[in-house]
Amino acid sequence: MNFAGSQQLATQIEQGAAADVFASADQRWMTYATERNLISNVPVTFARNRLVVIVPATNPARIHRLQDLARGGVKLVLGADAVPVGRYSRVVLQNLSRAPGFPRDFAARVLRNVVSEEENVKSVVGKVQLGEADAGVVYRSDITPSVTRFVHRIEIPDSANVVASYPIAMARAARDTTLARAFLDLVLSSEGQAILERHGFARAIAPPR
């Protein structure tokens, strides 16, 4: 298993890294892989996710609502724009700029507070967890039991949030296509979907009635 950022994984496969299955946190990098003939079957969405804002448990910047992210002096960490979570984060900020109760320049003001752009979402979590940043934007699934006691979360309203869809497919250079198909079947099965749900993801496939 390799849990790097989607952009890194797609590039590694393109450069010849061994892979049987590729799962991306957004459609952009699955399209990238498909256009370069790195994928052997039609990608299928296997999970969905939403974003939340996290702050350190000590909350030194006293961030209690989303509007506080635009305050001068706040140290914000985001994923880089090439990273799915970074792109989603910027879409959310633009959505909030059009929402009631937020100034029209909200996104621009928040982005001026960005002190670091990370290559994967785990790095965003780590910097906030360690108190190296006042806030970060991550997936709901990143608020694991081991992280919960170190951070507080601030929910993003559904009207401004995004639904992150995760596609998965077999790599064209898969060395064991039988095992690759078996893994895909497991992820898309009721059992696989239940496991993902227990870890904070939203199901992509409705459970049987």
Tokens of 35: 């256009």
Superfamily assignment of 6-48+164-203 in CATH?
Answer: Periplasmic binding protein-like II (3.40.190.10)
- Residue whose entry in the numeric block shows the structure tokens 């077999």: 170
H or E element, residue 10 = helix 6-14
Structure tokens at 141: 């699934």
Tell me whether domains 6-48+164-203 and 51-155 share a fold. yes
The ranges assigned to domains in the chain are 6-48+164-203, 51-155
Q: What was the pLDDT predicted at 124?
A: 97
Instruction: Specify the pLDDT at position 206.
Output: 72
Q: Is 60 helix (H, G, I), strand (E, B) or coil?
A: coil
Helix, strand and coil in the chain, % to nearest 5: 40, 20, 40
Among the listed residues 50, 15, 5, the one whose alpha carbon sits nearest the alpha carbon of residue 157? 50
Supply the pLDDT for residue 209. 58
- Top CATH class, 51-155: alpha beta
With a cut of 50, which residues of the chain have pLDDT below it? none
